[in-house]
Amino acid sequence: MKIISFNEKFSSPEKSVVTIGTFDGLHLGHREIIEALKKNLKNLDFAVLLLHFIRIQEQ
């Protein structure tokens, strides 16, 4: 896994799928989503990308 911040240049692989969310850590439920994506896309040679938004706490 490679973590890239928004202030870095990044070009995604041509064949990729993105899952987007405000993940509150990578607990079992989130890992299952990522693993399901990887399993379903393995034969298609797609890269799995995760776009994570940091939730700003309301005051």
Domain boundary assignment for the chain: 16-52
15-27 burial, b at 16+ Cβ within 10 Å, e below that, comes to eeeeeeeebeeee
Over 70: is that where the pLDDT of 2 sits? Answer: no
Nearest one of 28, 27, 25 to 52, comparing CA atoms: 25
Q: What is the pLDDT of residues 4-26, one digit of tens each?
A: 666 677 777 788 888 887 777 77
Give me the pLDDT at residue 38, please. Answer: 83
Long-range contacts of 23-28 (CB under 8 A, 24+ apart): 23/50, 23/52, 24/55
Give dist(CA 10, CA 27) in Å, integer: 26
| pTM across the whole model | 0.59
Q: How confident is the model at residue 59 (pLDDT cuts 50, 70, 90)?
A: low
